[in-house]
Structure 1
């Protein structure tokens, strides 16, 4: 029987055995000196971790890698198309990884499954990473990719992303308000939106499994090249002064995550400005749970809700 005595409170009771198995398998990829790894070492570990949880692409989903024009350099993307029908919507997906990790491979099966289960085209964006490319490089690539795709599609385009990608999706939604082509909606998965790291869930879950508050501060420092900018909604979506004309928004947060408070704060700001927004606070889950959608029942159920939500956004339906 597995020794559970080293599981820290309150997570010993908040997480079920399936989730602990996911956490244990994930943590096993990090060496004892993980805290001293540079960003390249962290990339190697992260890539191996994502590969271990990769479920493969559903049969029939076709893939094409190419590039889009960017403000500074070409932006590499991967397009997923379903086998059964002509897509009625596009999901522009922005991957997580703290702005320094991940790419087209890290979220490949996630994007392929979204394509298969919705019947929509999915376009994954390989935006430039920090610290080689400091803010606003990640935002600029995400914005340019959205504008290009939106101009060249005759159907709705939905923004989606997890963690850092949720941040970028929210920033692009804010930046494109009032333009000729706007998102039909946005789906943000345990997003980093820039709430105050000295309070709330950043304190109560500062040492949560899979992500800590110290990790978040480290990523912000690498992304900004030093001190984080203040009052810049491209960096911190919650810093915006005006949230009018934002698209319908679905946010999914994990209970055991320093970022758990960002989602409700953000949705409250959107609804106060007259928008449509709802936060699904997923109990007993941890940051990065998308990788556990095939092994953890709670994560599987949450992924089902995301698919339902994407279909509703594409159809301009709001039943929340």
Structure 2
């Protein structure tokens, strides 16, 4: 059995306990509406404000069937890239407000324009609705932005960023990079971190099974690369990729597996596992030293990829 008392330091435990006070571990047993209310309240409690000099505009992308809400962040610096950001939340939680401060800080610290995408959520909108909205946001960016495009997302959002990367390899303006933060990529749940960290604080395998069932409506979608990018048989021609995972997270092995497959196909991928950190640690970036250092790694990766650099 994994000894989290040894792996996780006191600062991180304080963050876990604070999170659990807002969002108890048994929240997935509540209704979806209750889960969203609890999650939104937790995000408000952790909101850290905007950096100075970041301007924000809330807008929408019009499609033939619906509008996709977006929030655009710009800094005083001359942007070199447009970062499409897809938020986490298990495909059932979150939106423009849940990751508002994260996106603002990413913009302020990189100088790049950041566009946060409020994709449709399950169970009201089953897969592939979220993927379709992510693709819609990418197409919008290619026609409305001159800057090169970097894809970024955490957890469920990391899944969407990777799925868009796989789907747009033949696009005239394919992404120039992707940064995937503790992403769920559809890895083998019988091995690796799925076993070692099945009962990790903040996210368990039971949670993952619940989110997947809600996202798919219980339909078996084995082999669907828009749902599970690791199911793809071709990892060639993907953009330079940086994967940042948490050690104490059942999803950690997805980052390792994805890095290995991109590298085996001749691409550039870098995987960094954050020792002693847990899923969702972005909200701890101002209170936990390890999370603060990790967020700097994320910022540096986004900044570099946006200017066409590769800094592993």
Residue correspondences, number: 312
1:42 corresponds to which of 13, 35, 46: 35
Aligned counterpart, 2:67: 74
- What CA distance in whole angstroms lies between the structure 1 residues aligned with 2:25 and 2:205? 20
Aligned counterpart, 1:209: 201
- The 1:35–1:245 alpha-carbon spacing in structure 2 relative to 1, beyond 3 Å, is closer
- The 1:177–1:9 alpha-carbon spacing in structure 2 relative to 1, beyond 3 Å, is closer
Aligned counterpart, 1:225: 217
- What CA distance in whole angstroms lies between the structure 1 residues aligned with 2:24 and 2:203? 16
Aligned counterpart, 1:30: 23
- The 1:211–1:33 alpha-carbon spacing in structure 2 relative to 1, beyond 3 Å, is closer
Aligned counterpart, 2:148: 156
Secondary structure of the residue aligned to 2:116 is: strand
- The 1:130–1:32 alpha-carbon spacing in structure 2 relative to 1, beyond 3 Å, is closer
1:17 corresponds to which of 10, 22, 47: 10
- What CA distance in whole angstroms lies between the structure 2 residues aligned with 1:219 and 1:227? 13
Unpaired stretches in structure 2, ≥5 consecutive residues: none
- What CA distance in whole angstroms lies between the structure 2 residues aligned with 1:127 and 1:229? 20
- What CA distance in whole angstroms lies between the structure 2 residues aligned with 1:129 and 1:248? 28
- What CA distance in whole angstroms lies between the structure 2 residues aligned with 1:99 and 1:33? 18
Cα deviation digits, residues 260-296 of structure 1 (max 9, x gap): 1000100111111111001011001000000000000
- What CA distance in whole angstroms lies between the structure 2 residues aligned with 1:238 and 1:72? 30
- The 1:156–1:32 alpha-carbon spacing in structure 2 relative to 1, beyond 3 Å, is closer
Alpha-carbon distance, 1:30 to partner: 3.4
Aligned counterpart, 1:57: 50
1:272 corresponds to which of 234, 245, 264: 264
Secondary structure of the residue aligned to 2:224 is: coil
- The 1:33–1:195 alpha-carbon spacing in structure 2 relative to 1, beyond 3 Å, is closer
Alpha-carbon distance, 1:227 to partner: 3.2
- What CA distance in whole angstroms lies between the structure 2 residues aligned with 1:228 and 1:95? 24
Q: Does 1:96 align with 2:88?
A: yes
Cα deviation digits, residues 38-82 of structure 1 (max 9, x gap): 111111111111111110111221111111123531111000010
Secondary structure of the residue aligned to 1:67 is: strand
What TM-score do you get using the length of structure 2 for normalisation? 0.97
Secondary structure of the residue aligned to 1:42 is: helix
Cα deviation digits, residues 125-167 of structure 1 (max 9, x gap): 0000000000000000001101111222222110000000000
What TM-score do you get using the length of structure 1 for normalisation? 0.95
On the 8 A contact 1:71/1:140 being kept in 2, the answer is: no
2:128 corresponds to which of 136, 150, 156: 136
1:190 corresponds to which of 182, 207, 224: 182
Secondary structure of the residue aligned to 2:282 is: helix
Aligned counterpart, 2:234: 242
On the 8 A contact 1:197/1:203 being kept in 2, the answer is: yes
